[in-house]
Structure 1
Amino acid sequence: MTKALMFQGTGSDVGKSLLVAGFCRAFARSGVRVKPFKPQNMSNNAAVTEDGGEIGRAQALQARACYAAPSLDMNPVLLKPQSDVGSQVIVQGKIFGVAKARDYQALKPQLAGFVAASYAKLCEKADLVLVEGAGSPAEINLRRDDIANMGFARAHDVPVVLIGDIDRGGVIAQIVGTKSVLDPLDAAMVRGFLVNKFRGDASLFSQGMAMIAEKTGWPGLGLIPFFPQAARLPAEDAMALAQPRVSSSGGRKIIAVPMLPHISNFDDFDPLKLEPDVRLEMVRPGEPLPVCNLIVLPGTKTTLSDLAFFRAQGWDIDLRAHVRRGGKVLGICGGYQMLGNSIDDPLGMEGFFGGAEGLGLLDVETTLTSDKILLACTGISQPEGAAFSGYEMHVGVTRGADCERNFLTFADGRSDGAISPDGAIRGCYLHGLFGHESFRGALLRWIGAEASDFAYEAEVERVLDALADHLAGHVDLDALLKLAG
């Protein structure tokens, strides 16, 4: 019978996704057939699966940690925020609809069936399923019809490990407070706790661990030191953008990325942070776009509203000044659409019917459509002839004169993207391009930067192994396996 263990957190961004990835790699290396599962995720950082769907980026990384291909069953419900109160709902990899927060609560009983079906399919293929919760079980106002935390754990009889984050302070109150608000039957599902992101002398917190155990009745399962190499792995969602996103290198060439409100797949830029000749600046709202060598307009879940936000920041003025100075521009997915002459949304795909004038830097027009393309791709970029790999994840068709100078040629013969007549402005739909060293090198040479020869994908594997070693040194993995129900 398949074992399962669920990791819930005292709050968002306590390290659940990272720890599950590390435990996945640790158990997989020992020969256990392990699979990750997250019943419900909220993130605009998504990944394409081999079975033709999309799931949260964190679950794709966890699948990789298991030496497994990402599957839509690993994250059956994905919420992609389109506004402060509403999200696109992805169910088993496909668009299910759009729902405001209140309406989504009414959907949960229906979604519970999809969650159960996906979980059952994973269990058929695994010896161990590691389940990641969402947010916190202490949000007891959302407990009714819950499918993400204790509602799932109780429905499927999955034991829970609670994770607290000492780096943000108040970890004793985090864990003890969570116990105090939980329903007794929910609290009984918890088999122990982990304290994550500890810095300093571990002996100084031994009394703290004992106090938590005394006040909750839950055993301490480990005090996990801060793992700085986590910054080299793809982040789960935009919570990571609350931290400084400037590369540590003092590179000569500056690449600037405006932080749009609904920025998507921002892990596209992680490989650029590791290039020694590049300084990557994630530009926050209220700040001007800096004098730089390249401006990259990123992907976005809501192209039209984020285009309006871009203009409201005055970034369109900064962008034109950058072009007049001879600077280069690259648009990815929604950012590519923004660079054109117009964007039309006749079906209301982004929540309202209408359109807008684009930034006019590429002679193309975009129409948003109901068909969503989800596809892994390889090919050759133009005009440098550099190999690339990446994935399409978009709605919309873009056409125009500048598409005659296509940016990417796929291995199956299709083409994508556009290049301005002077070659300074480029755009395409493909995510994940910078992870391929050949394409990344060509891009950096385009802006006059020196490219290193490091292999980003190999670096991700190295960090996953280091994370597994890190956890094995501070958590009893055999004890965790015994807790799994």
Structure 2
Amino acid sequence: MAALMLQGCGSDVGKSVLVAGLCRLFANRGHRVRPFKPQNMSNNAAVTAEGGEIGRAQALQALACRVPPSVHMNPVLLKPQSDVGAQLVVRGKVQGTWQARAYQDRKASLLPTVVESFRRLQTEADLVLVEGAGSPAETNLRAGDIANMGFAHAADVPVVLVGDIDRGHVIASLVGAHAVLDGPDRDRIHGFLINKFRGDPALFDEGRAEIAARTGWRDLGMAPWLAAAARLPAEDAVVLQRPGDGGTRRVKIVVPMLSRIANFDDFDPLRAEPDVDLCFIPPGQPLPGDADLVILPGTKATLADLAFLRGQGWDVDLAGHVRRGGRVMGICGGYQMLGARIADPEGVEGPPGSAAGLGLLDIETVLAGDKVLRPVSGQLQGGGAFRGYEMHIGRTRGEGLARPMLALADGAPDGAVSPDGRISGCYVHGLFADPSARAVVLAGLGAAARTGDHAVAVDTALDEIAAELERAFDVAALARLAGLPA
């Protein structure tokens, strides 16, 4: 079956978006397409129908293919919990926490699992589009590699290398990769793509010709700056560090950037609302005193990020915000932080321990038991339907649960609300995507929800990106490289 792998000259060169766009492009041509990423590192994850978790980017790419996400689309997921350690998820299930050095020694043993998942996707598809991770030119990581060339050789998949011209030095990036790769890895690359070009593309004709002359790789096209990509869920937290809209909107919602922030695409629908100024607050800055709502986001390491929050002085800012009558909401790990106490007696997320929470909800959480991974739907207690998912470790109890934030479709309550209604929290991700639920949340702040269903906006953006790539890339050449019949 046909397959093609896009690798990059580095992280955040746009591989995920290009693969998503090509998935939609070939799906629109009537092909059965599947996305695949051998190994991903991200705390932004999605729940699959099997009750597993994969990288958010692969869930988006599955949407681009118009198929449900599967654990086989991202068989190895690393979820960072510290600077040197990460939770290892294999085919959707947690396999423990590994230090970086120990994982480097183990990762080669996962290659058969990775290839088996890839072969399974091939049986159900005309074309599998594969996304690499980081860069194959990181030659210090080549031994035992399963994310880039190690996988490409094992599965015999041709490779196209992507360079990001928006960063600059794209000629050096591509030519440099050619220089440092060994012969077999270099020969597996059949062409290159340029991404994120702004302006008149003819201005870079000489640059593209020079790359082709120096590498011998085929020039397969140059994508413009894809404005529609801003409407897609982001996977890499680097996007949170970019400037916002300047605070010109009426209702201010702020989200502190915890050190292990997770599933921050929860807030994309709020960002798109014209009456909302959504601000991610980086470390080193106080929470703004004029915020209408502070949302504590999900995190991969709740106790560690609770300590991080206090280290930034955000707990003091939050207390002042509450005294002034401000509202606070917690999602997943942020919800756990709002309680009286969090305990991790078994060291699930790090060293065993416990800590006092922020004391804004009458609940306590113990990080124990199996990880909850499931799609859910229901209603906010104030009205407004939602569809989302749960992805958490921990069991929460306390008198605050008598005032739940959500009513799930199966009749179970979820979350808690303070007696005055200004503090709330729940375990459900994706809460703001449905316009009716978003309208209820914004109405409580004195604003109106003006945009429609976020899923429709994402789907439309995918079609727009596919159309741009159809014009920008040599799609016929990409199809031939992949082995797709004419």
Normalising by structure 1, what TM-score? 0.98
Deviates more, 1:232-241 or 1:393-402: 232-241
Greater CA deviation, 230-239 or 373-382?
230-239
Shift of 1:248: 6.5
Give the aligned partner of residue 259 of structure 1: 257
Task: State the AA in 1 paired with 2:50.
Answer: D
Task: Return the alpha-carbon distance in structure 2 between the equivalents of residues 223 and 251 of structure 1.
Answer: 35
2:369 counterpart SS class: strand
Aligned to 2:404: 406
Classify the secondary structure of the residue corresponding to 1:234. Answer: coil
Cα displacement string for residues 90-134 of structure 1 (whole angstroms, at most 9, x for unaligned residues): 000000111111100111122112101111111111110000000
Hey, what does 2:293 align to over in structure 1? 294
Distance in 2 (CA, whole Å) between partners of 1:177 and 1:58 is 27
Percent sequence identity over aligned pairs: 60
Contact 1:48–1:374 (CA under 8 A) maintained in structure 2:
yes
State the distance in 2 between where 1:426 and 1:52 align: 27
Alignment check: 8 A CA contact 1:248 1:273 kept: no
Q: Note the alpha carbon deviations across 1:333-389, whole angstroms, 9 max, x for none.
A: 00000000000001101121011000000010000013100010111111x121111
Give the number of equivalent residue pairs: 482
The CA distance in 2 between the partners of 1:302 and 1:72, in whole Å, is 23
Distance 1:242 1:137 in 2: 26
2:233 aligned counterpart, secondary structure: coil
Aligned residue for 1:278?
276
Q: What does residue 387 of structure 2 align with? A: 389
1:444 paired with 2:442, answer yes
Residue of structure 1 in register with 2:117 after alignment: 118
Is 2:363 the counterpart of 1:364?
yes
Q: How far apart in 1 are the matches of 2:451 and 2:135? A: 41
Q: Deviations over 1:241-295 (max 9, x none)?
A: 2323x24772211000000010000000000011111100100101110121000
How many angstroms apart in 2 are the aligned matches of 1:275 and 1:241? Answer: 17
Structure 2: which amino acid aligns with 1:31? G
String of CA shifts for 1:415-457, please: whole Å, max 9, x gaps: 1100001110000000001101010000000111122142211
Alignment of 1:117-266 (within 5 A): 117-244=116-243, 246-247=244-245, 250-266=248-264
Q: Does 1:88 align with 2:79?
A: no
| Matched-pair contact (CA < 8 Å) for 2:212–2:218 | yes
3-state SS of paired residue (1:155): helix
Report if the CA contact (8 A) 1:166-1:197 is conserved: yes
Q: Residue type of the partner of 2:233?
A: P
CA RMSD of aligned residues (A): 0.9
Distance 1:154 1:239 in 2: 30
Q: Residues 304-334 of structure 1, C-alpha deviation per residue, up to 9 Å, x if partnerless? A: 0100010011100100110111111000000
Q: Secondary structure at the match of 2:11?
A: coil
Superposition map of 1:274-353 within 5 A: 274-290=272-288, 291-353=290-352
Q: Distance in 2 between matches of 1:243 and 1:326?
A: 29
Q: Is the 8 A contact 2:272 2:451 kept in 1?
A: no
CA shift in 2, pair 1:471/1:437, >3 Å: same
> What residue number does 2:416 align with?
418
Query: Deviations for 1:141-195, whole angstroms, at most 9, x for unmatched residues?
Result: 1101100000111111100000000000000000000000001100000010001
Paired letter, 2:397: R
CA distance in 2 between counterparts of 1:184 and 1:276 reads 52
Give the Cα–Cα distance (whole angstroms) in 2 for the partners of residues 154 and 389 of structure 1.
40
For residues 477 and 218 of structure 2, the distance between their equivalents in structure 1, rounded to whole angstroms, comes to 11
The 8 Å contact of residues 275 and 447 in structure 2, kept in 1 or not, is answered as yes
Given the alignment of the two structures, is residue 58 of structure 1 paired with residue 57 of structure 2, yes or no?
yes
Corresponding letter in the other structure for 1:399: R
Check the 8 A contact 1:164/1:171 in 2, yes or no: yes
Structure 1 residue 240: Cα displacement: 2.1
Counterparts of 1:329 and 1:438 in 2: how far apart (Å)? 20
Q: Distance in 2 between matches of 1:256 and 1:225?
A: 32
Residue pair 2:43, 2:261 contacting (<8 A) in 1 also: yes
State TM-score, norm by structure 2: 0.98
For residues 450 and 67 of structure 1, what CA distance do their matches in structure 2 show?
31
Match of 2:426 among 413, 425, 428: 428
Counterpart of 2:279 in structure 1: which amino acid?
A: E
Gaps of 5+ in 2: none
Q: Does structure 2 retain, via aligned residues, the 8 Å contact 1:247–1:273?
A: no
**SS of the residue 1:370 aligns to:** coil
**Conserved 8 A contact 1:250-1:276:** no
Would you say the 8 A contact 2:241–2:282 is kept in 1? no
CA distance in 1, matches of 2:278, 2:429: 17
Which residue does 2:475 correspond to in 1?
477
Paired AA for residue 37 in structure 1: F
Partners in 2 of 1:72 and 1:47 — Cα distance? Answer: 10
Which letter does structure 1 place at the counterpart of 2:174? I
SS in 1 for 2:229: helix
Alpha-carbon distance in 1 for matches of 2:434, 2:324? 29
Amino acid corresponding to residue 473 of structure 2 in structure 1? V
Contact persistence 2:136–2:148 (CA under 8 A)? yes
Give the Cα–Cα distance (whole angstroms) in 2 for the partners of residues 21 and 175 of structure 1.
22
The residue matched to 1:99 in structure 2 has which SS? strand
CA 1:248–1:5: 2 relative to 1, 3 Å: farther
Counterpart contact for 1:249–1:276, Cα < 8 Å: no
User: 1:202: Cα distance to partner?
Assistant: 1.0
Matched AA of 1:202: P
User: Is contact 2:12–2:236 with CA below 8 Å preserved after alignment?
Assistant: no
Q: What secondary structure sits across from 2:428 in the alignment? A: coil
Whether contact under 8 Å (2:253, 2:295) holds in the other structure is: yes
3-state secondary structure, aligned to 1:369: coil
- Whether contact under 8 Å (1:381, 1:387) holds in the other structure is yes
| Alpha-carbon offset, residue 43 of structure 1 | 0.2
